[in-house]
A and B are shown apart, each in its own frame.
Chain A
């Protein structure tokens, strides 16, 4: 296992379309997080899962956003009816519930809404 994998790396979509991103965490990590990062800013927390349970959602996660982690392994983040303001880098991270390793981030999916 080489780290957190995110697909696709880049996505260009037209305003109003739906998009879905996938994250494969490090296999033994039971916590999975989604963050959004816009140009020149630090990542902003969106939501997190412990195993398959979604335990927290940020106020940034509007009704157009939905995240799932059905079997406690990979996760998907879907954005419905995309808007230009959704253009950002979407980062996934994973961590162990116990331990001192902290988060491991993936390389992200860069979304451009045109």
Chain B
């Protein structure tokens, strides 16, 4: 089955700096890669996703890049703010039908800390 590795496990950056979280996946058939933000006591919230027919996607301060050859994808957050502090999860799936995929395999998460 799919295996998703996520690094680093903890990332501390100064407010206003950029943060980058990296994930690798094992199943070359994976075609859907979402990123989730989870705050304490809440469920994961989808912040951005990318499908395998696209190499990069951007939404305001957040961007995701995908390298299918190397089987890795990354989350980039620019101009970080205190409210960006949370745990971020990457995920991968080899099944989707236009919308959400089934059976997402998640990484172990990155605790992002924004230092004021």
Contacts and interface: CB of A to CB of B under 8 A. Distances in A.
Contacts of A58: 103
A21 interface: no
B21 to A, nearest CB: 13
Contact of B89 (A33, A42, A48, A99): A42
Interface residues of B, number: 25
A99 B99 contact: yes
B77 interface: no
A71 B104 CA distance: 25
B103 A40 contact: no
Nearest to A4: B43
B44 to A, nearest CB: 5
Contacts of A31: 100, 102
B44 A45 contact: no
Interface residues of A, number: 29
Interface of B: 4, 6, 34, 36, 41-46, 49, 89, 91, 97-100, 102-109
20 contacts: A4-B43, A31-B102, A33-B102, A42-B89, A42-B91, A44-B106, A45-B102, A48-B103, A55-B102, A58-B103, A91-B43, A98-B97, A98-B99, A99-B99, A100-B98, A102-B34, A103-B104, A107-B42, A107-B43, A108-B43
